[in-house]
A = this chain, B = another copy of it.
Amino acid sequence: MAETWATSPSGQALGIDLHIEPTGSGLRRGLTDALRDAVRGGRLAPGTRLPASRTLAADLGIARNTVADAYADLVAEGWLTARQGSGTRVAERPVEAPRPVTAPGRRTPGTLLHDLHPGTPDLASFPRAAWLKAARRALTEAPNDALGYGDPRGRPELRTALAHYLARARGVHAHPDRIVVCAGFAQGLMLLGEVLRRRGLSDIAVESYGLDAHWDILARAGLRTRPLPLDERGTDTAALEPRPGGAVLLTPAHQFPLGVPLHPDRRAAAVDWARRTGGLILEDDYDGEFRYDRQPVGALQGLDPDRVAYLGTASKSLAPGLRLGWLVLPAALTDEVAAAKGDSDWSCGVLDQLTLAEFLRSGAYDRHLRGARLRYRRRRDHLVAALAEQAPAVRATGIAAGLHAVLRLPPGTEQSVVRAAAWQRLRVAGLSSFRHEDTAHPAPAPDALVVGYGTPPDHAWAGALDALCRVLP
């Protein structure tokens, strides 16, 4: 813990205990969290001017860039404001507390002009009329029993519809009995983490880039996350540990955030590992429906349904607010995961489950996805064209898929671009913020931005793209 000083609006010195560990990795995140907590908890009042990054860095005995980065993160999130000439201050109307701050695509407050943070689809294109139509039909036809305490795996209508859809669209080998409907990917991962921990697992391999929100979920379940090596062919699943009964979390169809599919050799290596060691692959298929250049690569689960737990979600294809996701599980895990779901909240709400079942069955989901694919593909093309014209030093990498692109930047420029974006009130993520802190990278980490082109509504997209191009080198 370190103590430092900020100047309050009245000019009186104010002591703040920042509760950060001044050593070790994760320092930037630790400082960001500590400052955010101080604002949220009221210890740093609105309008308070923060010390210059140089001063705070000296007080804490850390690098100035770490402080500057933490300030930039908090400006982007809306906790702080930064204006030339008036320094960095606590925002006058701070974000409504409390909220988890690591949610993918969490909306930032009113001071933000543009949001290109990845993780959220275009909420303005949620198919409201079609959804309501499906809701009417589903609720009209539902048996009374459907409204009672139900099967923790979820409504059979939805599990049946998902089994058909996932087989057809993603090559998933899905029997309704092995599906557990859950409150989004996050809860599905939590349930699997808890079950694996109870079975004696103590750590789980993960990709070296991903979402710390997911690693946190695993950590809360008692699992230590260990990043796999990353090389020019992507995540090296051949490096999975050979001891029996391990587990690995992968995004095979479209690595998040790097934007590439798992290399075919590495897919095979993962499945071989799981068969050889009795291991389990957790397949995060968050945006498998969105591929723009050709048929998406099928789910890994189809290769070995007994060794892969498939996790899908409506959060990217429809809306995160639905809180609906699904697990397709090996037979040996289904009962335990279903029991964990029952212990957590009995089941998901049945009305949205029945509506999604009707939405899938009626073809409305396919229609919605066709429209969404077209919209996102146009945005991606637009982004690539704008880069070629306005920022030739920047290159979009990864496959034409999903709701985000990775923009490779000239070496050493990522942090300054993210800071410049924050000054423009443009929310965009640096690739380094997705890096697992235990990553042993063979080469200097690439400088890049992760741009979520799904996030803005149509009317705001062009403006967001302009703002982005203005801050690119």
Q: A-side interface residues toward B, CB under 8 Å? A: 96-100, 103-107, 119-120, 123-124, 126, 128, 131-132, 135-136, 139-140, 144-153, 182-184, 186-187, 190, 217, 220, 319-324, 334-335, 338-339, 342-352, 457
- Could you tell me the distance between the alpha carbons of A187 and B152 in the complex, rounded to whole angstroms? 13
Which B residues lie within 8 Å of A96 (CB)? 151
Structural contact, B144 and A126, CB atoms closer than 8 A: yes
Which B residues lie within 8 Å of A107 (CB)? 145, 148-149
Known: A345-B184, A349-B349. A320 touches B149 (CB 8 A): yes
Known: A100-B346, A321-B147. A132 touches B136 (CB 8 A): yes
26 contacts between A and B (CB under 8 A): A98-B153, A98-B334, A98-B342, A99-B151, A99-B152, A100-B342, A103-B149, A103-B342, A107-B149, A120-B149, A123-B145, A123-B148, A146-B321, A148-B319, A182-B345, A183-B346, A190-B344, A190-B345, A220-B343, A321-B349, A321-B350, A321-B351, A322-B349, A323-B348, A323-B349, A323-B350
Known: A135-B135, A349-B324. A100 touches B343 (CB 8 A): yes
Q: Which residue of B lies closest to A183 (CB)?
A: B345
Which B residues lie within 8 Å of A338 (CB)? 98-99
Known: A152-B100, A321-B146. A348 touches B349 (CB 8 A): yes
- Could you tell me the distance between the alpha carbons of A320 and B126 in the complex, rounded to whole angstroms? 27
- Could you tell me the distance between the alpha carbons of A96 and B335 in the complex, rounded to whole angstroms? 12
| Chain B: minimal CB distance from A145 (Å) | 5
- Residue in A98, A139, A184 with the greatest tally of chain B CB atoms within 10 Å: A98
Partner among B97, B106, B123, B346 whose Cβ is within 8 Å of the Cβ of A323: B346
- Could you tell me the distance between the alpha carbons of A96 and B320 in the complex, rounded to whole angstroms? 30
Q: Which residue of B lies closest to A95 (CB)?
A: B151
Q: Which residue of B lies closest to A119 (CB)?
A: B149
Partner among B144, B187, B350 whose Cβ is within 8 Å of the Cβ of A344: B187
- Residue in A126, A149, A334 with the greatest tally of chain B CB atoms within 10 Å: A149
Partner among B147, B183, B344 whose Cβ is within 8 Å of the Cβ of A123: B147
Which B residues lie within 8 Å of A128 (CB)? 139-140
Structural contact, B335 and A351, CB atoms closer than 8 A: no
| Chain B: minimal CB distance from A178 (Å) | 11
Which B residues lie within 8 Å of A220 (CB)? 343
Partner among B103, B153, B347, B352 whose Cβ is within 8 Å of the Cβ of A346: B103
